[in-house]
Amino acid sequence: MKRIAALAGLLLALCLTASAQRHPRAPYRFDPVEPGVHDPVLAKEGDTWYVFGTGPSEMTSTDLKTWTSVPGPRVDFEWISEFVPGWRGGAWAPDIIRYNGLWHMFCSPSASGLQTSVICHMTRSTLDPASPEPWKDCGEIIHSVPDGMKWNAIDANVVIADDGTPWMVFGSYWDGIQLVRLKKDLSGVDGVPRTIARRYIIDRPDIHNPLSTLAGKNAIEGAHVYKHGGWYYLFVSWDYCCVGVNSSYKVAVGRSRNVEGPYLDDTGKDMAQGGGRLVAFDSDRFVASGHCSAYTIDGKDLYLCHAYERYGGQSKLVVREIGWEDEWPVVSLEDESEKTAHAMVLDVTRNGAAIQPTMYGVFFEDINFAADGGVYAEMVKNRSFDFPHPFTGWTAFGKVTLKNDGPFDRNPNYVRFDPSGHTDKYTGLQNDGFFGMGIQRGKEYRFSVWARGAGSKVRAELVNPDSDVESQVLVSSEIDITSDQWKQYETVLTAPVTMQDARLRVFLASATKGADLEHISLFPVDTWKGREGGLRKDLVQSLYDLHPGVFRFPGGCIVEGADIDTRYNWKNSVGPVENRPFNENRWHYTYADRLFPDYFQSYGLGFFEYFQLCEDLGAAPLPVISCGIACQFQNSPDNPDAFIPVEELQPYIQDALDLIEFANGAPDTPWGKVRAEMGHPAPFNMRLLAVGNEQWGPEYPKRLIPFVKAIREKHPEIRIIGTSGPGSEGDLFEYLWPEMRKIQVDLVDEHYYRPESWFLAQGSRYDNYDRKGPKVFAGEYACHGEGKKWNHFNASLLEAAFMTGLERNADLVQMATYAPLFAHVKGWQWRPDLIWFDNLTSVRSCSWYVQQLYSLNKGTHVASLTMNGKPVSGQEGQDGLFASAVWDADAGEYIVKIVNTSTYSRNVSISVKGLKKGQQLAAAGCTSFHSAYPDLDNTLENPAAIVPETGTFDLKDGLFDEKIPAKTFMIYRLKRN
């Protein structure tokens, strides 16, 4: 079958692939409980059930529930290519019967959408996959050719009539389902085929038969005759398959007392005239079921078909017992578990713990070009020529020399432009930006440069080096250098076009007079809050829209450094940008196979800017500082250089104390003055400080202790955060937690980049944590899909599920920040990430929406929500449900979050306990977050593919009773009077 629909399927697959370019396909894995299949047929030998389907599909089972995949029959006999040129094997729409002591299989090698098909026949004495006996080639039963025949030779099904005569039904489209008698030994046809069923009515005008001019609109295929109770039932599949949830397949049946028909439906209409009675209806889980087969085996009437999962579009094997209604077969696609009631209790007798304003936040690290090349809007790479290779990012032409006695002592390099000495030769530089420079038509870009050389002239140009028109130059502007002293000059360039990868060229424009240039910079004028030299607006907007309560920065591993000297040194990141020394970025080499040798930290986004950003976002600043240990992943424990001796830690501790002064001190304190001079005399109100990132082993507590002592003494107002190491459990984790208790840090930073199974198993993680010690900060986490470590909907759904456990335990878990935050589509080292961007646009991932939904529905107090007295945390017997609830005192609403991680819909009822006299609840709207494509995410091309939807729901007599669709995150608001 499916010759025709396969084409449409291919088209859809191509569309999905295109929209998911940065998501490679996960390797196919056989699912033993819900195997994927197309066109299934069934046989039983001994105690083993066998299912065969299209393609290499063959599977075995002893209970019809758990399946094992085995290699399917090869159908690659040489003669087949006479009929189907290029045929390479595989069982297309097979049929299997036991007849005269042998198993007989019929398959349909075929060319898509054409009548180039042949039904072939093969036999074997056993179905045992372990037997060496091959399938015996018994040749052709019948073939079709594209010469105006009324049928094609596919989808064979052989039925032995009551009188012992073998008959075969077959065919798709054209003139519908054909019936023909076979020779007694099944070696070929014994008569002329004739039509016994047609469709004619197409009820999905939006789905077109891709080959209608050839095949016609007679969308019928997959015939199967089933003998039962003295009737011959003819099942057929109407309409179109193979386009996932957009498929419109449905199974219809008619019956006859005679194998030759006519087959009539329950209204008496002949199937040859379009008659047919529907057999199975779409369920919450399955749509477009079709290509069925039916059997009575061991006293059971069994029905097999494939159907598309509504949430994922995968074609799954469905095996059901047939029910009978007036001798008509009726099949329910519903799974038993979908009928189960899940009764939850929302106990509002008293409010639970207060939810901290810091509960949901963000974690920023300059990884994936998040800062330089990302949110820090500087478009010039290596603007001061101080990278280890001073011309990284630049192409020099003419007479350009590097000097190192420039005006900024911590960035001493600059360039000298000398006249080329020839009217047709030029001196200058081109900068490549970060994967080019994104410019937008009509927008302004501020070019600035420190220069000296009175009487000289420089010209700044935005160019398109790949232009195929006469001039590469998009816009240019000249600057007169008026002094022999270093001075900053600027000009604004207006982009005449929009492009991702323009370049900046800087020329010496004076013929005889040279110039010295330093700190060559280009920024969009239109930055976040219009700040000169500021941040990229769209990216900050995406942070703002998350409403983060806390902002952790500047890392991550970059805080620690691959060696102590390259740790993030916040003092280097403040003061005038021209004099902030660049630092290495370990993410340029951490993954040798994703190497970005030109990735450094300019510190243009420094601690002042971070604090200012926190203020803009309304988020509590949470800086992380080095504890005197370089990254332990990158250094052996025996490397003394990676561990500052405890007795030499004072400068590091002083850095911490100075940082608090920089953030909060009065403008007349040394570091408060630096802040005030940078334009922010008022304090930044920093209250949180993390010492160390993912440190582990005894070396960490030894160093943390003196930090804690010094900070507590001078700044008891600061809440100190220690770490439990890089893992979510295990020896390092088990060692550090008791140490953190002993040291009495305020919060412990836990990290978990873990697979689906972990997220599904950790719903109750915090339910039994010790409440007496430090609080928990889930400082870095993300679901890293097994075999699919990239952003996709299902991973975000599991994050949502896990977060119900954070919310329920908000007395203990006071902050949570997903990680990492940003990634440039051309410059990433780590996936998944919350926000993706290129040089012009950005996209919010599904995980972003989950974070935002939690932020927007944070509430003020935890509320108790249980099922059978237990937290709803995906526990055994809870059918993949996770749920939590909060009271929002400001809105006067209870907010219930329910995540159905299963692939089945779930009936959920909630009764409310503890309402005071006169108090009532009213439905106040709901939000759902769902995708039918669990492996996909939003993309730059399709940024709103998967977004939350708001809606309404009813409380029936005050009772909440809803069906939560498969793979869905639901948020319900209940207003209390």
CB of 830 to ligand AHR, least distance (A): 5
CB of 362 to ligand AHR, least distance (A): 12
812: left (phi > 0), else alpha (psi -120 to 50), else beta?
alpha
As a whole number of angstroms, the distance between CA 602 and CA 852 comes to 30
Three-class secondary structure of residue 670 per DSSP: helix
Beta bridge partners of 843: 836
CB of 949 to ligand AHR, least distance (A): 30
Asked about 694 being catalytic, the answer comes back as yes
As a whole number of angstroms, the distance between CA 930 and CA 284 comes to 14
Which CB sits closer to ligand AHR, 367 or 619?
367
CB of 936 to ligand AHR, least distance (A): 23
Is residue 339 a contact partner of residue 907, using CB atoms and an 8 Å limit?
yes
Query: Per-residue string for binding with ligand AHR, 746-785, x by CB under 6 A?
Result: ----------------------------------x-----
- Count CB-CB contacts under 10 A for residue 344: 20
Which CB sits closer to ligand AHR, 815 or 970?
815
Residue in 447, 596, 611, 830 binding ligand AHR, rule: CB under 6 A:
830
In 3D, which of 289, 295, 293, 384 has the Cα closest to residue 581? 384
Cis bond leading into 965, ω under 30°? Answer: no
Query: Per-residue string for binding with ligand AHR, 552-591, x by CB under 6 A?
Result: ---xxx----------------------------------
Three-class secondary structure of residue 68 per DSSP: strand
Which CB sits closer to ligand AHR, 364 or 528?
364
Query: Per-residue string for binding with ligand AHR, 63-92, x by CB under 6 A?
Result: ------------------------------
Is residue 92 a contact partner of residue 54, using CB atoms and an 8 Å limit?
yes
As a whole number of angstroms, the distance between CA 661 and CA 669 comes to 7
Q: Show contacts with ligand AHR in window 722-741 (CB under 6 A).
A: 726
User: Can you say how many angstroms the Cα of residue 178 is from the centroid of all Cα atoms in its chain?
Assistant: 46
Helix and strand totals (H; E) in the chain? 13, 57
CB of 568 to ligand AHR, least distance (A): 11
Which CB sits closer to ligand AHR, 499 or 815?
815
Task: Tell me the two tokens of residue 279.
Answer: 């057999």
Which CB sits closer to ligand AHR, 362 or 898?
362
As a whole number of angstroms, the distance between CA 868 and CA 342 comes to 9
**Rounded to the nearest 5°, which phi and psi values hold at 8?**
-65, -40
Which CB sits closer to ligand AHR, 314 or 724?
724
CB of 308 to ligand AHR, least distance (A): 37
Which CB sits closer to ligand AHR, 817 or 878?
817
Which CB sits closer to ligand AHR, 363 or 611?
363
Residue in 359, 540, 740, 819 binding ligand AHR, rule: CB under 6 A:
819
Cis bond leading into 832, ω under 30°? Answer: yes
As a whole number of angstroms, the distance between CA 482 and CA 174 comes to 84
Residue in 658, 694, 699, 888 binding ligand AHR, rule: CB under 6 A:
694
As a whole number of angstroms, the distance between CA 50 and CA 35 comes to 13
Residue in 210, 312, 820, 871 binding ligand AHR, rule: CB under 6 A:
820
Which CB sits closer to ligand AHR, 501 or 694?
694
Nearest to ligand AHR by Cβ — which residue?
556
Q: Show contacts with ligand AHR in window 518-557 (CB under 6 A).
A: 555-557
Which amino acid, 881? L
CB of 799 to ligand AHR, least distance (A): 15
What is the helix (H) or strand (E) element at residue 972, kind and residue range? strand 968-976
Annotated catalytic residue, options 694, 699, 807, 962: 694
CB of 633 to ligand AHR, least distance (A): 7
In 3D, which of 443, 445, 436 has the Cα closest to residue 501? 436
Total binding residues toward ligand AHR, as defined by CB under 6 A: 12
Which CB sits closer to ligand AHR, 155 or 365?
365
CB of 587 to ligand AHR, least distance (A): 8
As a whole number of angstroms, the distance between CA 771 and CA 789 comes to 34
As a whole number of angstroms, the distance between CA 527 and CA 53 comes to 58
As a whole number of angstroms, the distance between CA 595 and CA 365 comes to 18
HSE at residue 949, side-chain half, CA atoms within 13 A, is 9
Q: Show contacts with ligand AHR in window 320-379 (CB under 6 A).
A: 365, 367
CB of 693 to ligand AHR, least distance (A): 5
Is residue 426 a contact partner of residue 398, using CB atoms and an 8 Å limit?
yes
Residues that bind ligand AHR (CB under 6 A): 365, 367, 555-557, 693-694, 726, 780, 819-820, 830
Tell me which residues are annotated as active site: 694
